[in-house]
Amino acid sequence: MINAFRSSFLGVIALVTVAAPVCAQSIEDLNLQFHGYATQSFLYTTKNNILTANSSDGSPAWTEAVVNLSALPQPKLRISLQVRYSIIGQLGNAFTLDYAAAEYKVNDRFGVRFGKVKTPSSLYNTQQDIDPSYMWSLLPQSVYPVLSRNSLLANFGGLAFGTIPLGEKFGKLVYAGYGGQISLASNDGFIIPIKDAGFGAPNGYGETLAGGSLRWKTPIPGLLIGAANSHDFTSSVPITYDAGLITGTFAGKPFNNQTFSASYDHNKFSVASEYTRIPFSALISLPAPFPYPHVPYSFDNRGWYGMASYKITGKWAAGLYNSQFFNHAAAKGPARYSKDWALSTRYDFNEYLYAKAEQHWIDGTAVLYDTWNNTGGLQPDTHLTILKMGVSF
Amino acid sequence: MKKLVTPLFAAALFALSSSLHAQVIVIANPGVKATEVTKADIKEVFTGNATTLKDGSRVVPILLNEGTANEEFLKVYIGKSDSAYRATWRSLVFSGSAMMPKTLDGDAAVVAFVMAHSGAIGYIDKESPHAGVKVLSVK
């Protein structure tokens, strides 16, 4: 169903892409643009292996390369797509589609986008895959888990968006409403705990969602306040156990994912904070001879962070954040939480080339880890060092 | 004497600085209705946050590739260096919410493009010839 849905939407995008030159008078009128970026990171951890990489030995296993193609055949019609090749630890090593969308923007107050569109939920969700756009090497994992990035980033569906001026005394209201389907790969971060419990999800997990976000650009210059809600509908996918010998179903129940955000920029100084909650529950059903035909599965993920950064010079910035994550459905212990202090810096050599360095002090094991790459068991705390080079054009 | 020289020097610096700021002008295609815009309007348009002016005129920003006028425009209206500014635009491109504005070499090219394209809005050195385009007054 999801594949059919996805194919239909990509078909529409392909049709619009093919039809676009007809609308434009010449290839120059298409205003074709080609951009891209690539990053290479080095990971080192003092104890646990992180992001499925052998980071305790030092690992270069985090590579990303992105190409972006966009066209503007008509002033109000824009078509864009972005393809990524990534390796994160033992994951990736494949091409993925970040988004492929056709946008029709009537004016600043109203526009629509169709295809695989980025989901405008939290403050940085539509930017979380764009390393050149932020200072951090790793965004706060309590809200932006990098191993679940692909599933949170975009959905196959549509989006309506716009900005409503509220007058000089009240600022502006930026709104977005969306609906579509998301697809979690079989190795997505949200599925790692299921795999750790001995199950397999050969087809991953997919669900329908609908949601919206409101961001108030307040009359105080630089101050933004936002809230978003995504309603995820029920879904059922195949699940395996005992090395694939037993096949059953994994039925997720509907839930709401809420996010509250605030950010403030003043000259060279920026601060931001967000809170998000994902209360998910599902029922795993397996046929006999499995001794427990129905196994409840749930997590109640609550994450928040506070961050601050400062532009020391035009090329050099530094900052720190504290990110905290709790799974209220988990048993007490380090696997229930993750508390992460990060100290970060970035230097832009020029418009194209930059370097980042980041140090993390992580307490708890609830995010970033898997058990199959930590066969000796997870230690309750780990220090993580990330060095990254990036180039964009 | 020293007490007198210091404020005079500061006043001279201020005058020089004001004079420099006045060297860049914002131009638009004659079809753009607006004749007066605010500094905030210019920042919204040239950072990809708005595609229309308050009077409803749809506008498309045109950038200068380099030079004194470009540096002054970015300093006065945007508050970013050229490399940081272009990196910000690329972020909008990668996030799927905008396209990179057309960038032209030299004031003459900007004037010619703005004159020929409906809704185009750009900036040039005040002293550069700009017949055929509208100069927007910035409050």
- What is the value of ipTM here, to two decimals? 0.78
pLDDT for A3 equals 52
Instruction: Give residue ranges of A with CB < 8 Å to any B CB.
Output: 31, 33, 35, 37, 66, 68, 70, 72, 75, 78, 80, 82, 98-99, 101, 105, 107-108, 113, 117-118, 126-127, 129-130, 132-133, 163, 267, 314-315, 348, 350-351, 392
| Distance (Å, whole) CA B56 – CA B29 | 14
Judged against a pLDDT cut of 80, whether residue B40 lies above it is answered with yes
Across chain B, mean pLDDT equals 85
pLDDT in tens, A101-151: 999 999 999 999 999 999 998 899 888 989 999 999 999 999 999 888 877
pLDDT for A141 equals 94
Three-state DSSP class for residue A353? strand
Q: Distances in Å between the alpha carbon of B80 and those of A288, B47, B77?
A: 65, 11, 9
Using an 8 Å Cβ cutoff, are B134 and B27 in contact? yes
Cβ of residue B59 closer than 8 Å to a chain A Cβ: no
| Distance (Å, whole) CA A370 – CA A367 | 8
- Residue among A238, A195, A10, A244 nearest A91 (CA): A195
pLDDT for A291 equals 64
Burial of B80 by CB count in 10 Å (0-12 exposed, 13-18 middle, 19+ buried)? middle
pLDDT for A187 equals 75
Contacts of A108 in chain B (CB under 8 A): 50-52
| Distance (Å, whole) CA A291 – CA A306 | 45
pLDDT in tens, A209-268: 999 999 999 999 999 999 999 999 888 888 888 777 788 888 889 999 999 999 999 989
pLDDT for A150 equals 79
| Distance (Å, whole) CA B93 – CA B91 | 5
List, for chain A, all residue ranges whose pLDDT scores fall below the cut of 50.
1-2, 4-5, 21-22, 24
Stated pTM of the model: 0.84
Segments in A169-259 forming alpha helices (H): 192-196
pLDDT in tens, B19-29: 445 589 999 99
| Distance (Å, whole) CA B69 – CA A315 | 21
Stated length of chain B: 139
pLDDT for B19 equals 43
Q: Give the start-end residues of each E strand in B7-133.
A: 24-28, 36-37, 60-64, 102-104, 120-125
| Distance (Å, whole) CA A359 – CA A343 | 5
pLDDT for A288 equals 67
Domain at A2-392, CATH from 1.25.40.10, 3.40.50.970, 2.40.160.10, 3.90.1150.10:
2.40.160.10
Cβ of residue B86 closer than 8 Å to a chain A Cβ: yes
Q: Do A105 and B93 touch (CB under 8 A)?
A: no
Higher pLDDT, B12 or A328: A328
